């Protein structure tokens, strides 16, 4: 053996060979399960490995695939049911039931007056019935729209905070979103009004053509109704999808109405079909669940009518009993449908909110901001809201720099420095 092979580092001691073929230090033991890597490769330890993105709350902080986007809205109901289900019942379920009962009672009163009135008063009573029905319908639409907007604001805020692993009370959540409810209600009313005006214009064209009379007028009215109806379907799909992120932008980014519209339009650019497909898929799922729950009540009403009033065709009392039974079942079905519909609205709003977060992750790197916020919160730092746009986030104040003393002028060329 040569001297070069026997050479050891100064201060080292001889021993068994280690894993790299060199001398093993005293007390060195081979790690359990360690295997000699092939030549030219480093051992497995000490290398930076990929770690999955954190999931502090509702979703992992990364761009989402279809599975999490479909599962997370239902998980939001389970994680904080006091907020989600409670808000659904308080802000949409109960108001829908109350409005439906009041409107039905008012219409029944108007119909009763029109039927029992004198023959000379029938034109005025019928006009009052039509006018009252229109007013009640508009009032019902306004009330329902306002409470739906309130529910949207609460659910958008709840999903955003659940994504960060926060579980807020209703009072805390209300303080976060109440400043944006005016803009949110205004947007919801304007959006509904725009579609009402659009439908009214198509209906006005159809009526105007029908009033021309003759075959040409009838054919024109039919064609206008068919073409107008078919044209409104793709227009509604396009507009509703492009503007679906407006409520989230209003609540989370605290943007004014026009800026939120522009923001939603830009976020969905390049992701239109993905956004539309997920929203439509969630809507189909919610509709199927709602119908699965409400349809049995209609069947139950028919069965109960046959059981309690088997001779309804030949007896006035039995007919009245049948009507009362059917009406009671219908009222119960309406209440159940309103509650299930409110919970379905929570699921749909949560899905759109998650789509908004996903789009910002894909287009703006919001996932990095959310991870930075979660890590900073764990370290005890007080960081700004990560959902706010960078321009609106409060900037840290910089301490003033002390004035610098003037530097002496540089020596002229050719002269030795002082």
Find how far residue 136's CA is from the centre of its chain. Answer: 30
Flag whether 5 is in a domain.
no
Provide the residue range defining the domain that includes 132.
Answer: 66-185+270-374
Q: What is the CB-side half-sphere exposure of residue 164 using CA atoms within 13 A?
A: 23
Query: Is the CB of residue 282 less than 8 Å from the CB of residue 325?
Result: no
pLDDT one-digit tens code per residue, 274-287: 999 999 999 999 99
Backbone angles phi, psi at 258, to 5 degrees: -65, -40
Q: Which pLDDT value is given to residue 177? A: 86
Q: Token digits for 203? A: 């209906």
Rounded percentage of the chain residues whose pLDDT exceeds 90: 26
Task: Provide DSSP, 112-123.
Answer: HHHHHS-STTHH
pLDDT one-digit tens code per residue, 75-115: 988 888 888 888 888 888 788 778 877 777 777 777 777 77
Kindly give the interhelix angle for 94-116 and 316-364, rounded to the nearest 10 degrees. 140
Flag whether 358 is in a domain.
yes
What distances in angstroms separate CA 350 from CA 89, 138, 163, 189, 264, one per listed residue?
16, 27, 11, 20, 16
Query: Is the CB of residue 153 less than 8 Å from the CB of residue 247?
Result: yes
Flag whether 346 is in a domain.
yes
**pLDDT band at residue 405 using 50, 70 and 90 as cut-offs:** low
Q: Which pLDDT value is given to residue 274? A: 94
Query: Is the CB of residue 66 less than 8 Å from the CB of residue 279?
Result: no
Q: Which pLDDT value is given to residue 273? A: 95
Dihedral sign (CA 136, 140, 142, 143)? positive
Q: Cβ-count burial of 102 within 10 angstroms (0-12 exposed, 13-18 middle, 19+ buried)? A: middle
Flag whether 298 is in a domain.
yes
Distance CA 410, CA 417 (A): 8
**pLDDT band at residue 316 using 50, 70 and 90 as cut-offs:** low
Query: Is the CB of residue 278 less than 8 Å from the CB of residue 219?
Result: no
What is the four-CA torsion angle of 401, 405, 408, 410, rounded to 10 degrees? 0
Alpha helices in 167-213 (DSSP H): 170-177, 181-211
Distance CA 94, CA 342 (A): 9
Task: Provide DSSP, 16-39.
Answer: -B-TTSSBPPTT--PPTT--PPPT
Number of domains into which the chain is organized: 1
Q: Token digits for 101? A: 């009962």
DSSP 314: T
Give me the chain's average pLDDT, please: 77
Flag whether 381 is in a domain.
no
Query: Is the CB of residue 374 less than 8 Å from the CB of residue 61?
Result: yes
Helix (H) or strand (E) holding 4: helix 3-6
Kindly calculate the radius of gyration of the chain based on its CA atoms and give it in whole angstroms. Answer: 35
Flag whether 258 is in a domain.
no
Nearest one of 243, 264, 242, 244 to 253, comparing CA atoms: 264
Distance CA 241, CA 201 (A): 22
Q: Which pLDDT value is given to residue 322? A: 59
Nearest one of 296, 292, 305 to 333, comparing CA atoms: 296
Flag whether 88 is in a domain.
yes
Q: Which pLDDT value is given to residue 33? A: 46
Mean pLDDT of 381-391: 83
Q: Token digits for 33? A: 């399960």
Q: Token digits for 399? A: 């301490």
Residue 412 has pLDDT above 60, yes or no: no
DSSP 403: P
Query: Is the CB of residue 154 less than 8 Å from the CB of residue 177?
Result: yes
Min mean pLDDT across 77-86, 228-237, 407-416 is at 407-416
Length of the chain: 418
Q: Which pLDDT value is given to residue 416? A: 47
**pLDDT band at residue 143 using 50, 70 and 90 as cut-offs:** confident
Flag whether 35 is in a domain.
no
pLDDT one-digit tens code per residue, 119-129: 666 677 777 77
């Amino acid at each position: 053996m040569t001297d070069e092979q026997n050479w050891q580092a100064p201060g080292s001691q001889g021993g068994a060979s280690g894993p790299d073929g060199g001398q093993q230090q005293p007390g060195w033991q081979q790690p359990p399960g360690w295997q000699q890597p092939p030549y030219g490769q480093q051992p497995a330890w000490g290398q930076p490995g990929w770690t999955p993105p954190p999931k502090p709350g509702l979703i992992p902080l990364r761009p989402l695939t279809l599975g999490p986007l479909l599962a997370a809205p239902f998980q939001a109901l389970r994680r904080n049911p006091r907020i989600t289900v409670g808000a659904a019942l308080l802000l949409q379920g109960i108001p829908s039931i109350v409005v439906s009962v009041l409107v039905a009672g008012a219409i029944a009163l108007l119909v009763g007056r029109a039927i029992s009135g004198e023959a000379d008063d029938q034109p005025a009573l019928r006009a009052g019935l039509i006018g009252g029905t229109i007013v009640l319908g508009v009032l019902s639409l306004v009330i329902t729209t306002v409470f739906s907007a309130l529910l949207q604001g609460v659910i958008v805020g709840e999903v955003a905070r659940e994504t960060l692993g926060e579980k807020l009370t209703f009072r805390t959540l209300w303080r976060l979103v109440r400043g944006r409810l005016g803009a949110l209600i205004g947007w919801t009313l304007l959006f509904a009004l725009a579609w009402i005006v659009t439908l009214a214009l198509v209906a006005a064209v159809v009526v105007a053509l029908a009033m021309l009379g003759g075959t040409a007028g009838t054919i024109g009215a039919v064609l206008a109704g068919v073409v107008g109806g078919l044209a409104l379907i793709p227009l509604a799909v396009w507009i509703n999808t492009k503007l679906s992120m407006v409520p989230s932008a209003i609540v989370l980014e605290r943007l004014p109405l026009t800026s939120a519209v522009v923001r939603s339009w830009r976020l969905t650019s390049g992701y239109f079909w993905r956004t539309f497909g997920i929203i439509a898929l969630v809507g189909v799922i919610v509709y199927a669940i709602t119908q699965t729950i409400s349809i049995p009540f209609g069947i139950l009403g028919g069965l109960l009518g046959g059981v309690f009033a088997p001779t309804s065709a030949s007896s006035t009392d039995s007919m009245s009993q049948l009507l009362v039974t059917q009406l009671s079942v219908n009222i119960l079905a309406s209440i159940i449908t309103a509650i299930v519909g409110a919970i379905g609205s929570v699921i749909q709003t949560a899905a759109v909110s998650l789509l908004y977060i996903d789009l910002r992750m894909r287009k703006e790197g919001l996932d990095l901001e959310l991870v930075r916020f979660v890590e900073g919160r764990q370290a005890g730092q007080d960081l700004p809201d990560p959902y706010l746009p960078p321009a609106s986030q409060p900037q840290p104040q910089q301490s003033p720099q002390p004035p610098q003393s003037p530097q002496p002028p540089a020596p002229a060329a050719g002269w030795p420095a002082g």
